């Protein structure tokens, strides 16, 4: 700041004589702005920028306030923090190499973790904390705990008791403790532990026959104990590093410690004050400092992530992500879309007349929601959720029909070749009757076939095209794309969605995303937060629950009975095996062997084999053949999603304990697709009872319920959401610390969402929250392709 006393005099001068100089002078705001621009807080500078245009009374009031502010700063700061000049967020985006206080080794180790900038480093939070305050008395150390002890070496000696080769006898002055080693070459131990010397060791305290001991303790050097030590993730991303993980750990710790101590205090607060107050969150500079260099915080609460600093950091992750998704949503809503306007009631009635079954109320409701959306001139972005077998496809067909009738093309994208064929057939069966051309585009078409499909899409002859990733190829050009339907969304990234949506040539097509697996509400919110959500919460009438049973290998004759029973009723059977070839390590039954076995067991029946190593066209042939006149399909999990063969009534899943619950539910959903009674047998080895009682508990969830949302909820609790969505959490969400596998974090999600919504209502483009905006752009700008606020 320029000379404070002079500034104060200047302002007083302006206010003298009933503020005569203030009335007359001009450029005052500009002058003050230049004097203060390096030191005053943003609200002062913002006011100064518009000062010269303010009405007189306001200028006067502001000057009086400014005088107080300058006066205060002149006094020595009470709180050290307040005297620190904050930097802009951008200043923290500098590459690590530019940080003079880090040496090359430190930079290298941080880079190997994927840390590129100063900001990345500050937000690379520890996984957990170790209490390394040495205990000086053994009485204070709990057996079973990892402890740090300050001891004196009484004796070092070689022993030979079969397990250990050397031991060091230590004392805390009163009691004894032994350090035990198994190394064959152990002379170095004599060098490390000299009789009479003082040592500080870290290790798990054990006790046997009233003797206390630690096996292979870590000998701590000065600087490696005394305080609470953060423990960081040490695995490299890609590159090979030739140092032990212990060395890496201490290098990372040292580098981050330095970085945080030098820079965290300048880190600008980006979270709005109202939110910090609402949750009593600490400031960001303190949060960063404490999380990396925790002092005076209870280790237990740190490790439970329940202290205010962790709570804030977790909230921040979720809040930023929600903001990004909502911004993305807004951005999309501004696009122009083809208006597919029709009388919803009339259309729905007409569509119903074309179907052989009555749509359920839930189907009607979501179809209406979709049609209303498509009638607007801005894009629909809707997620259609529903349990397995709830009838999502027919809803998509309805939306497709509406778009085609209004003269637009529709692209239907699915994740696998088999599904593409299946959907193609379903759509074709419906649209042939309407005289509407449906095309199929998959990677396995010949180049000539592809060229022909491209041509007909481009010329608009093909109205509906069903396909795989092949649809997002550059060569695919639409005549007039109005609607994009994406089935089984979670296999596709946001970017792929975008590539397809860009094919609308100026007009942004409507987008309907259908998820195969029911996703719990909280999670749907977090991952699909940029979409509106419709849920089909009702199954077609007459559907009966699939009877699910757990069966041990030793009860296998029951399977044979069940298979024979179903086949004699004219039904079809699936038998699923987890892997295709036997691996030496894990004894899994190979689907191929089992196929041979079942063929022998059922010589009169048509038994087929399907597995992932087959080519797409082979798979396709097998599925056709099974559908036509097959009896038993032995398969790996390639049939998992979407296959719809109503005559199938028995699903046998071998080694069921190796699957996640949602996957099992999805597999089970391949039966029970008609009004025939259906069964699912989950077969597990007898040994499970001994080695993995948890697995049985888990599988019983499926026995108990047929509700996919309930299953998904359980699955998420047990395995975390990444598994459910088929994405790695950190990669996909870009979180630093939040983890949706923790129920606490999921609970925060709704708050974060509400707060984000509220903030954007007040400040739609975050122009009043520049640091927040910068941070979101840094984290999600590329990932979500956020151009709205950029
Ligand atoms: P999912 O929601 O799992 O994708 P599908 O769309 O494949 O379910 O539908 C499952 C089966 O139910 C299909 O054979 C379909 O024809 C049938 N179906 C859909 N809706 C109804 C309904 N309202 N009444 C009777 N059967 C229906
Ligand atoms: Mg489906």
CATH classification of the domain holding 353 = 3.40.50.300
Whether residue 291 is found in the same domain as residue 199: no
Residue 599 domain flag: yes
580 three-class SS: coil
Residue 309 domain flag: no
**How many structural domains is the chain composed of?**
5
Whether residue 214 is found in the same domain as residue 252: no
Nearest CA residue ID for atom 13, ligand 1: 391
Residue 504 domain flag: yes
778 three-class SS: helix
Angle, helices 28-36/56-74, rounded to nearest 10 degrees:
20
Could you say which ligand is closest to the alpha carbon of residue 392? 1
Q: How far away, in angstroms, is 384 Cα from ligand 1 center?
A: 14
Nearest CA residue ID for atom 15, ligand 1: 391
Whether residue 216 is found in the same domain as residue 238: no
Q: How far away, in angstroms, is 539 Cα from ligand 1 center?
A: 8
- Pairing status of strand 211-215 against strand 206-208: antiparallel
Cβ 668 under 6 angstroms from ligand 1: no
Cβ 550 under 6 angstroms from ligand 1: no
Q: How far away, in angstroms, is 646 Cα from ligand 1 center?
A: 9
Cβ 670 under 6 angstroms from ligand 1: no
Alpha-carbon distance of 436 to 461, in angstroms, equals: 9
Alpha-carbon distance of 597 to 559, in angstroms, equals: 14
Alpha-carbon distance of 536 to 367, in angstroms, equals: 10
Nearest CA residue ID for atom 10, ligand 1: 389
Whether residue 573 is found in the same domain as residue 682: yes
Residue 495 domain flag: yes
Nearest CA residue ID for atom 4, ligand 1: 392
Q: Please identify, by atom number, the ligand 1 atom nearest to the C-alpha of residue 646.
A: 14
Final residue belonging to a domain, choices 193, 209, 225 = 225
Whether residue 465 is found in the same domain as residue 355: yes
Owner of token pair 């006011």: 47
Return the pLDDT at 590.
66
Whether residue 367 is found in the same domain as residue 516: yes
DSSP state of 553: G
Pocket test of ligand 1: the residue of 391, 544, 572, 645 to mutate, having most ligand atoms within 8 Å of its CB, is: 391
Residue 335 domain flag: no
Cβ 390 under 6 angstroms from ligand 1: yes
Whether residue 398 is found in the same domain as residue 443: yes
Return the pLDDT at 120.
96
Cβ 673 under 6 angstroms from ligand 1: yes
Whether residue 378 is found in the same domain as residue 268: no
Owner of token pair 């067909």: 397
Residue 752 domain flag: no
Whether residue 108 is found in the same domain as residue 253: yes
Residue 19 domain flag: yes
Residue ranges of the chain with pLDDT lower than 50? Answer: 74-80, 580-582, 584-588, 729
Final residue belonging to a domain, choices 705, 740, 761 = 705
Cβ 360 under 6 angstroms from ligand 1: yes
Range of the domain at 348: 344-536
Whether residue 291 is found in the same domain as residue 369: no
The angle subtended at Cα 600 by Cα 597 and Cα 605, nearest 5°, is 115
Structure tokens at 639: 């049939």
Cβ 414 under 6 angstroms from ligand 1: no
Return the pLDDT at 162.
80
Alpha-carbon distance of 83 to 313, in angstroms, equals: 24
Whether residue 602 is found in the same domain as residue 700: yes
- What does pTM read for this prediction? 0.74
Residue 508 domain flag: yes
The CATH number linked to 178 is 2.40.50.140
Whether residue 100 is found in the same domain as residue 163: no
């Amino acid at each position: 700041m320029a000379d404070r006393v002079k500034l104060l005099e200047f302002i007083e001068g302006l206010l003298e004589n009933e503020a005569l100089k203030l009335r007359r002078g001009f450029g005052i705001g500009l002058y003050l702005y230049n004097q203060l621009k390096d030191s005053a807080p943003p609200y002062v500078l913002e006011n100064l920028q518009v000062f010269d245009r303010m009405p007189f009374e306001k200028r006067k009031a502001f000057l009086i306030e400014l005088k107080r502010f300058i006066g205060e700063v002149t006094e020595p700061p009470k709180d050290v923090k307040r005297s620190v000049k904050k930097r802009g967020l951008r200043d923290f985006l500098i590459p690590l190499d530019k940080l003079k206080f880090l040496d090359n080794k430190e930079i290298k180790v941080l880079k190997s973790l994927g840390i590129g900038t100063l900001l990345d480093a500050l937000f690379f939070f520890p996984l957990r904390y170790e209490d390394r305050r040495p205990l000086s008395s053994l009485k204070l150390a709990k057996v079973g705990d990892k402890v740090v002890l300050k001891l004196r070496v009484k004796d070092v000696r070689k022993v030979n008791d079969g397990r250990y080769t050397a031991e060091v006898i230590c004392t805390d002055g009163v009691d004894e403790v032994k350090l035990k080693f198994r190394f064959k070459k152990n002379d170095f131990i004599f060098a490390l532990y000299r009789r009479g010397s003082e040592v500080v060791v870290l290790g798990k305290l054990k006790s046997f026959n009233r003797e206390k001991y630690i096996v292979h303790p870590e000998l701590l050097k000065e600087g490696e104990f005394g305080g609470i030590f953060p423990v960081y993730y040490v695995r490299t991303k890609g590159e090979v590093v030739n140092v032990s993980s212990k060395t890496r750990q201490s290098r990372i710790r040292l580098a981050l410690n330095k970085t945080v101590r030098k820079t965290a205090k300048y880190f600008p607060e980006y979270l709005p004050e109202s939110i910090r107050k609402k949750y009593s969150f600490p400031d960001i500079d303190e949060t960063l400092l404490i999380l990396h260099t925790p002092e005076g915080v209870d280790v237990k609460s740190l490790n439970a992530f329940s202290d205010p600093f962790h709570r804030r950091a977790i909230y921040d992750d979720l809040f930023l992500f929600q903001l990004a998704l909502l911004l993305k949503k807004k951005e999309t809503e501004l696009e122009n879309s083809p208006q597919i306007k029709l009388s919803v009631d009339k259309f729905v009635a007409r569509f119903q007349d074309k179907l052989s079954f009555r749509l359920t109320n839930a189907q009607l409701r979501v179809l209406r929601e979709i049609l209303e959306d498509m009638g607007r001139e801005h894009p629909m972005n809707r997620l259609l959720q529903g349990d397995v077998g709830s009838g999502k496809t027919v809803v998509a067909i309805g939306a497709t029909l509406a778009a085609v009738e209004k003269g637009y093309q529709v692209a239907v994208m699915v994740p696998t070749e088999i599904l593409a064929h299946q959907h193609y057939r379903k759509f074709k069966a419906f649209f042939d009757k309407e005289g509407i051309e449906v095309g199929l585009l998959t990677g396995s078409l010949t180049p000539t076939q592809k060229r022909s499909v491209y041509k007909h899409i481009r010329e608009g002859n093909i109205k509906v095209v069903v396909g795989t990733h092949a649809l997002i190829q550059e060569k695919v050009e639409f005549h007039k794309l109005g609607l994009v339907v994406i089935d089984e969304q979670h296999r596709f990234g946001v970017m792929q969605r975008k590539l397809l949506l860009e094919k609308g040539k100026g007009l942004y097509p409507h987008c309907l995303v259908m998820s195969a697996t029911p996703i719990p509400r909280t999670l749907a919110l977090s991952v699909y937060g940029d979409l509106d959500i419709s849920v089909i919460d009702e199954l077609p009438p007459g559907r009966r629950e699939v009877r699910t049973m757990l069966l041990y290998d030793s009860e296998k004759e029951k399977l044979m009975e069940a298979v024979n029973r179903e086949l004699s009723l004219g039904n079809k059977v699936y038998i699923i095996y987890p892997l295709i070839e036997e691996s030496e390590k894990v004894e899994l039954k190979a689907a191929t062997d089992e196929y041979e076995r079942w063929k022998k067991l059922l010589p009169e029946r048509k038994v087929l084999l399907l597995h992932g190593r087959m080519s797409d066209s082979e798979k396709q042939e097998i599925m056709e053949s099974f559908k036509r006149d097959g009896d038993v399909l032995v398969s790996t999990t390639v049939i998992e999603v979407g296959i719809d063969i109503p005559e199938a009534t028995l699903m046998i899943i071998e080694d069921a304990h190796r699957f996640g619950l949602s996957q099992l539910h999805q597999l089970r959903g391949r039966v029970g697709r008609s009004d025939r009674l259906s069964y699912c047998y989950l077969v597990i080895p007898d040994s499970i009872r001994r080695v993995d009682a948890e697995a049985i508990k888990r599988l019983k969830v499926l026995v108990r319920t047929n509700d996919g949302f309930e299953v998904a909820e359980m699955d998420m609790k047990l395995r975390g959401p990444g598994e459910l969505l088929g994405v790695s959490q950190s990669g996909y969400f870009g979180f630093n610390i939040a983890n949706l596998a923790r129920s606490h974090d999921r609970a925060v999600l709704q708050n974060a969402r509400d707060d984000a919504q509220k903030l954007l209502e007040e400040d739609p483009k975050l122009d009043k929250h520049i640091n927040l905006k910068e941070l979101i752009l840094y984290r999600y700008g590329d990932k979500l392709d956020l151009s709205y606020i950029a």
